[in-house]
């Protein structure tokens, strides 16, 4: 019984471009993740009497690294951003706020979900 298979050319083209589309969606997921952690971290560290401007220096950078992405989230170096270590880990006489780690832990599942969704949308 003859079997007719059509659309192979389209499939080849589709597979050729899928890597680019996966990457585009992963980048989108990275931005969503970075933005979410930043927002939570800012909310945890807002209203500090001694560092009212600190939440505004918390940001994120995303770079393409090899075949993936790298998202770096935290306070910018310099100025009030230098309080980052002190607030996150405390000092010899003050407790850690641990806001960055808390925000990251709360959003870790979102990154997994976002990347999964990115792959699902592409394929």
Query: What are the residues binding other proteins (CB under 8 A)?
Result: 85, 89-93, 95-96, 98, 101-102, 105
| Alpha-carbon span 109 to 123, nearest angstrom | 21
Closer CB to other proteins, residue 1 or residue 93? 93
Are 22 and 118 contacting, i.e. CB atoms less than 8 angstroms apart?
yes
Q: How far is the CB of 84 from other proteins (least distance, A)?
A: 10
Half-sphere exposure in the Cβ direction for 123 (13 Å, CA) = 8
Closer CB to other proteins, residue 8 or residue 93? 93
Residues 6+ apart with CB under 8 A from 63: 69, 70, 72
Are 74 and 84 contacting, i.e. CB atoms less than 8 angstroms apart?
yes
Closer CB to other proteins, residue 33 or residue 44? 44
Q: How far is the CB of 89 from other proteins (least distance, A)?
A: 4
Closer CB to other proteins, residue 6 or residue 92? 92
| Alpha-carbon span 12 to 16, nearest angstrom | 6
Q: How far is the CB of 19 from other proteins (least distance, A)?
A: 33
Q: How far is the CB of 93 from other proteins (least distance, A)?
A: 6
């Amino acid at each position: 019984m003859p079997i007719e298979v059509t659309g192979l050319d389209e499939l080849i083209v589709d597979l050729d471009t899928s890597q680019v589309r996966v990457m585009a969606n992963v980048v989108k997921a990275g931005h969503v993740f970075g933005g979410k952690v930043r927002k939570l971290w800012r909310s945890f560290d807002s209203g500090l009497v001694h560092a009212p401007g600190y939440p505004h220096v918390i940001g994120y950078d995303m770079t393409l690294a090899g075949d993936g992405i790298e998202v770096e989230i935290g306070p910018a170096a310099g100025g009030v951003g230098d309080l980052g270590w002190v607030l996150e880990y405390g000092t010899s006489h003050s407790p850690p706020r641990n806001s960055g780690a808390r925000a990251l832990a709360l959003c870790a599942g979102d990154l997994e979900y976002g990347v999964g969704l990115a792959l699902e949308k592409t394929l």
